[in-house]
Amino acid sequence: MIIIPKRIKKGRKSIKKEKQIKHFDDILLSNLVSKKKILELVELANISRQQSESKESLCLKIMYESTYGLDELLDICFDKKELEDICNTLNLDTSDKKKPNLIGMIVETLPPKKKRKVDTVIEEDLEEEFDKAKIFNLFVANFDGRCLFSYNPEPLGVGDSHLISSALNAIGHLIRHITKSEEKLRNIDMGDKELIFEYGTIDLPPTKLESVPQSRLIGVLLVNRETSQMKKFLKEFIKKFEKKYKQFLIPVWNGNMDVFLSAYELVDETLKSVII
């Protein structure tokens, strides 16, 4: 990853009058990024240029000859408010999103106009983006808070089993609270970790002790940071989990967790499908 010695001064400009943005190149070529800012990028990237070279030419060099990643370019050129404006023009949801999340959404939504050189692309493909996020735990819970399946990607250390049990109990209480609310919880920022929630699509009949009219499975993913790939993984996993184990969930799950042991294979299968 290139080390950037200084930050470029940001000048906020209105995005309302810009032409429709269809490619990442369009952002650099628009009035949102001044030629002066592009020149500073060229200087930082040690790219040779002609004295009277056009902004379009310089932008092409930044895009296809520099070692900058697309995420780096956005981080250098824009502050959080400007990134939110760009996301809004792309009809992307900016609610409760941090700057890295906004950058990730834009990079994922806007492809370059042409293929970038292999040696210039820094952490931009889906697999590398996925690798930057780390899964600590995956849980699938019944609507009443009982855990059906849990997955920990790393071997448990001494005392960790107790911590996992405590986490399951805490998530169980949280899920019981969620099912009583009309609004679905999507994520919880825990500082250095985040909880991501995804809900099943199959309606499960409530137990005698519950009165929820439409009860569904809830997937919970504990990660170091939220990414679009992590959300996609969780959504796909819950979908496959429901389809595979529907016979054990309807009419009512009997509490036997052993029937879900083969779900470990689903984890690997879903991870591979999301990355590819």
Averaged pLDDT of the chain: 75
pLDDT of residue 166: 56
What is the full DSSP assignment across 166-201?
Answer: HHHHHHHHHHHHHHTSSSPP-EEE-SS-EEEEEE-S
Residue 190's contacts (CB-CB under 8 Å, 6 or more residues apart) are none
Judged against a pLDDT cut of 70, whether residue 44 lies above it is answered with: yes
Q: Are 72 and 41 in contact, with CB atoms under 8 Å apart? A: no
Of 7-11, 87-91, 186-190, 246-250, minimum mean pLDDT range: 7-11
The rounded distance, in Å, linking the Cα atoms of 4 and 76 is 9
Average of per-residue pLDDT across 154-180: 55
pLDDT digits (tens, 9 = 90+) for 22-39: 899 999 998 888 888 888
Give the DSSP H/E element, type plus range, for residue 230.
helix 228-249
For residue 161, report the phi and psi dihedrals to the nearest 5 degrees.
-60, -35
Average of per-residue pLDDT across 123-135: 56
What would the CATH number be for the domain defined by 131-275? 3.30.450.50
The larger pLDDT score, comparing residue 188 to residue 231, is at: 231
The larger pLDDT score, comparing residue 264 to residue 186, is at: 264
pLDDT digits (tens, 9 = 90+) for 216-247: 788 888 888 777 788 888 999 999 999 999 88
Peptide bond into 251 cis (omega under 30): yes
pTM above threshold 0.85: no
Average of per-residue pLDDT across 94-117: 86
Locate CATH 3.30.450.50 in the chain.
Answer: 131-275
Query: Per the structure block, which two tokens stand in for 190?
Result: 């825990």
